[in-house]
Amino acid sequence: MTKGAPIYNRVALIGLGLIASSMSHALRAKGLAGEITGHARSAETRAAALEIGLCDRVYASAAEAVQGADLVVLAVPVGAMAQVAAEIGPHLAPGCTVTDVGSVKQAVIEMVGPHMPASVSFIPGHPMAGTEYSGPHSGFATLFVNRWWLLTPGVDTDPAAIARLQSLLESMGAKVNSMDPAHHDQVLAVVSHTPHLIAYTMVGVADHLAQVSNSEVIEYSASGFRDFTRIAASDPTMWRDVFLTNKDAVLDILGRFTEELFVLQRAIRMGDGDHLFDYFTHTRAIRRGIIEAGQDTAAPDFGRSGPPPKG
């Protein structure tokens, strides 16, 4: 990676988990920030951040960490956003940009917006990237490469502030798009939040079965279930907050999911093979669209990773 001039002189990372630590690695690799300050509630996390070099300075208080920063990144669970915003609001430098990385946008705007001074540009954001790991050690510089980073700025936000933030995110490798916060939450309920809940549920069902032992489930989890367990291993705090704060959209999608599942369940019960075949054929086409959109590769990875097919 080549280094250019820093895009921000001082970036304050509030919360030092997977996203913030990956941002730090990416910012440093590309020389995008003059310096990086950080805050985490846990002394252990702060010590780790210094040791790994995520931050030049760490602070036990978020208010201190944001002082003099021209970019503040709120990278705490959605449920902690209101408290952090209230704490830093009075200490933000005039003209600075505040963004967040929460997976839900309407709730974050309601929590954070009222605490932002008029001189500050608040640009809500959501990097669509993650792994099932969390904490300051889990980050890596390429996490955002070729991944979407969605922004949901208000209509009155300074276009120059948006352009500057977008430039930073793109320099870390992300693809940036802006959308309405309500639409964001609906899209995410479909492509991420509800699938996560379903994966959690299926893993829980397997765990509760008396006839099939946990060790059997674990031993034979090669197909299908293995992907579910990966999803279901994501950070519990983050996901609790996602479901509590994107409640309406998730409940809507869950209702549709249950209806649809009942139709397939009925087809199984009635032995309606044509219905099942047509349904499964149609879903296959959607997968092809995803591969063509470049979100995934065509290499088979459903079982353990193997070489690509020859034909």
- Could you tell me the maximum CA-CA distance found in the chain, to the nearest angstrom? 67
Interface with a second copy in residues 265-294 (CB under 8 A) = 265, 268-269, 271, 273, 276-277, 279-284, 286-290, 293
Among 90, 95, 154, 300, binds a second copy (CB under 8 A): 300
Evaluate the CA torsion angle 179, 17, 40, 195 in order and state its sign: positive
- Residue 42 as a binder of a second copy (CB under 8 A): the answer is no
Instruction: Say if strands 8-14 and 71-74 run parallel, antiparallel, or are unpaired.
Output: parallel
Task: Tell me the HSE value of 110 on the side-chain side, using a 13 A CA sphere.
Answer: 10
229 sits near a second copy (criterion: CB under 8 A): yes
Among 68, 89, 140, 178, binds a second copy (CB under 8 A): 140
In the complex with a second copy, the residue whose CB is nearer, 156 or 207, is: 207
Please give the Cα distance from 54 to 137 (Å, whole number): 10
**Which range, of 37-45, 104-112, 160-168, 249-257, touches a second copy by CB under 8 A?**
249-257
Told to check if 53 binds a second copy by CB under 8 A, we report no
Q: Which residues pair with 14 in a beta bridge?
A: 39, 74
Q: Any contact of residue 142 with a second copy (CB under 8 A)? A: yes
Instruction: List the structure tokens of 140.
Output: 């890596």
Asked if residue 176 binds a second copy (CB under 8 A), the reply is: no
Nearest approach, Cβ of 210 to a second copy (angstroms)?
11
CB of 61 to a second copy, least distance (A): 25
CA–CA distance, 233 with 221 (Å, rounded to integer): 15
